[in-house]
Amino acid sequence: QVEVSESGGGLVQAGESLRLSCTASGTFVRISTMGWWRQAPGKGREWVATVGDGGYSEYASFVNGRFNIHMDPELSTMYLQMNDLESEDSAHYYCKVKYLYGQENFASSDAWGQGILVSVSA
């Protein structure tokens, strides 16, 4: 079983920055990808960014160069640096970890964090 813990949320003003962290712990062979999703009040959950253990990263179009995601595989930790935040970025942010487990025939599974709140005032 894998547990996911998130930190770094809070209240900031528009134009300021926040750094979110996500750490996976428990029993797994390795992490394939780590990513962030978000959900604003009254809206569905939407994907924000993903980083792979090989170093690749990808972002939703609304990020528009403002965020940077990277992962430290040895610490099983991912960071999302969010700059130039806008009020539209206000949401609960959820970390998703895709990991491999097993002993011979590895299987893949996902684990989610509880979510952290990011509030951006205009």
- For residue range 39-55, list pLDDT tens digits in order: 999 999 999 999 997 87
Identify whether the C-beta of residue 24 lies closer than 8 Å to the C-beta of residue 72.
Answer: no
Q: Provide mean pLDDT across the span 94-116.
A: 94
The side-by-side arrangement of strands in the sheet containing 67-72 is 2-7, 18-26, 77-82, 67-72
In the predicted model, what is the mean pLDDT of the chain?
A: 95
Would you put residue 29 in left (φ > 0), alpha (ψ -120 to 50) or beta? alpha
Count of beta carbons in the 10 Å neighbourhood of residue 28 = 21
